[in-house]
Structure 1
Amino acid sequence: MSSGIEAMFRLDGRLALVTGASSGLGRHFALTLARAGARVAVAARRVEALQALVQEIGALGGQALALPLDVTDAAGVRACFDRLAAEAGVAEVLVNNAGTTVTKPLLHHTEADWDAVVDTNLKGAWLVATEAARRLVDSGRSGSIVNIASILAERQAGGVAPYAISKAGLVQMTKSMALELARHGVRVNALLPGYVVTDLNREFLQSEAGDKLRARIPSRRFSEAEDLDGALLLLASDAGRAISGATLAVDGAHLVSSL
């Protein structure tokens, strides 16, 4: 029985696309999918940063392809999918991970700050997800789109208003897409990470301010990237074949806390 359950979480032979894969969670997600058997296309603006990841996946016995992608550029998104189709095929799994933030008090945010964050986190996610869905529907294939949102889609924090607003929009986008794509066999879900230790935030999370933040999390711990693996594979694989339009928080109970 266990082998059958494990097989449901496998992605052998499937083609997955991970955006924002040059560092952080995107890089980790690509490795997780490759270990689950997927062929992985990794995309980001900094293609040179993807080459080491491609080599690492190859060393694991997997297959990977690096693609240049600026998610805010509609023509560039289409070109990325065209090249993917020519070199590997139609992506059956999309991990829509590219994102950015600007941290400053609300009244100090500029229009340029807003555009930079919302264009990447919401418009860019929309461009990539709809293009992925269009290719799946046109090819008659089923598939899974996993939008990487945040617990800040459902709670507030100071200094990151455009980020939180964009992630809330991403959750609503997820549900709207799930509704219309269900009849095509395309599932759309959102993964909501809490505070996850990465190279970008490790110094802060280990600081005195980080200790105060950790004290507000009921589990009293920050997540590690590996804590997201089970949720990611559930949403990407046949194990989650009946799940669509869902939001799945991985946050040590932070969302249910009043702190």
Structure 2
Amino acid sequence: MAGEQEPHFDLGLRGKVAIVTGSGGGIGRAIALRLAEAGANIVVVDRIAERCDEVRDRLAELEVEAACYSGDVVDAAFTNDLVDKVYSQFGRIDILVNNAGGVSRRRFLDQHAGNWRKLMDLNLGSVFSLTSAVVPYMIRGGAGGAIVNVSSIEASRAAPNYAVYGACKAGVENFTRSAALEFAEHGIRVNAIAPDYTVTPGTRGNISGPVDPESWFQPDEAHFEAVARRIPLGRPGIDSECGDAAAFLCSDMSRYVTGMVMPVDGGTWASSGWLRNSKGEWTLDGRG
């Protein structure tokens, strides 16, 4: 009807403080911006300083408070110092998003212990480190909190050539459920999102330096046809869609949700190997 206002949902995030790791680009950046749009103050953490600066400038446009720290979340000394500084600056920590991670395609037998350790420290160890540093401050605040871990579809299916990464993400999901139980008495909720193929700087070849979409390689038509065959919704994910899911899990709208892993994958996990054939029909071998 004329004159009616658009419905407005208050996510209960205004004034809260969120630490988002790996938030200089891709999914982490999208989560940081979504939380900021809902009124949260954001702590940007990324190993690439130029990316931190870009996101901080974007957050200034959203008129929220922002802090920016460039460093390696694998370094426990860095993460502990980071969390102490954030609490000193803001006097509270309400949200932690463990997004930092990394992956490379390599057969397991072509790797050595150094490769395993690097992946384990980045994808799993950093989750332990940040959570261990943040939760005592959440408990001290007495108002509970929300932790969102960024997992992957590879945590719940076989991942040839990504075996160590998949194992790490499976560990993240188990830790999510276990931590949800341990922290529940303090009103701290712990959940995870599990994306599949999402368009990010990393998936388009922009793995270092400032985020520059003009430098990204552009897949050919065959690539998109293959994606449409294996993803039920027929396209890659968009980083802001992960941002939406994470914002929900951080918000009052999910205040009775904890220990959950939410696929953000266009239905890929549900399809479990079913593929569209050339006629658009679902089959197990893609033929017909």
Same fold (TM > 0.5): yes
What is the CA-CA distance between 1:54 and the residue it aligns to? 0.6
How far apart in 2 are the matches of 1:124 and 1:204? Answer: 30
**Equivalent residue number for residue 43 of structure 2:** 41
Count residues with an aligned counterpart.
257
**Equivalent residue number for residue 99 of structure 2:** 97
How far apart in 1 are the matches of 2:217 and 2:116? Answer: 24
Q: 1:248 to 1:204 in 2, by over 3 A?
A: farther
Residue 232 of structure 2 is aligned to residue 230 of structure 1? no
How far apart in 2 are the matches of 1:251 and 1:163? Answer: 17
How far apart in 2 are the matches of 1:58 and 1:117? Answer: 33
**Equivalent residue number for residue 114 of structure 1:** 116
Instruction: Give the TM-score taking structure 2 as reference length.
Output: 0.84
Q: Which runs of 5+ in 2 are unaligned?
A: 1-5, 205-215, 274-288
What amino acid sits opposite 1:125 in the alignment? Answer: V
**Equivalent residue number for residue 192 of structure 2:** 190
Contact 1:14 1:39 in 2 (8 A): yes
**Equivalent residue number for residue 20 of structure 1:** 22
SS of the residue corresponding to residue 183 of structure 2 reads helix
Residue 248 of structure 2 is aligned to residue 248 of structure 1? no
SS of the residue corresponding to residue 69 of structure 2 reads strand
**Equivalent residue number for residue 73 of structure 2:** 71
What amino acid sits opposite 1:197 in the alignment? Answer: V
Contact 2:149 2:191 in 1 (8 A): yes
SS of the residue corresponding to residue 145 of structure 1 reads strand
**Equivalent residue number for residue 206 of structure 1:** 219
How far apart in 1 are the matches of 2:121 and 2:243? Answer: 27
Greater Cα radius of gyration, structure 1 or 2: 2
**Equivalent residue number for residue 127 of structure 2:** 125
CA RMSD of aligned residues (A): 1.9
Larger helix share, 1 or 2? 1
How far apart in 2 are the matches of 1:43 and 1:80? Answer: 9
Q: Which runs of 5+ in 1 are unaligned?
A: none
Instruction: Give the TM-score taking structure 1 as reference length.
Output: 0.93
What is the CA-CA distance between 1:127 and the residue it aligns to? 0.7
What is the CA-CA distance between 1:89 and the residue it aligns to? 2.5
Residue 174 of structure 2 is aligned to residue 160 of structure 1? no
What amino acid sits opposite 1:57 in the alignment? Answer: L
1:181-201 Cα deviation digits (max 9, x unpaired): 001000000111111111221
How far apart in 2 are the matches of 1:156 and 1:45? Answer: 30
How far apart in 2 are the matches of 1:258 and 1:146? Answer: 25
Q: 1:216 to 1:129 in 2, by over 3 A?
A: same
1:149-179 Cα deviation digits (max 9, x unpaired): 0111111232111111100000000011000
What is the CA-CA distance between 1:204 and the residue it aligns to? 7.1
Contact 2:27 2:240 in 1 (8 A): no
SS of the residue corresponding to residue 42 of structure 2 reads strand
Match runs of 1:47-66 below 5 Å: 47-66=49-68
What is the CA-CA distance between 1:220 and the residue it aligns to? 1.8
Contact 1:218 1:252 in 2 (8 A): yes
Larger mean Cα displacement after TM superposition, 183-192 or 57-66: 57-66
**Equivalent residue number for residue 146 of structure 1:** 148
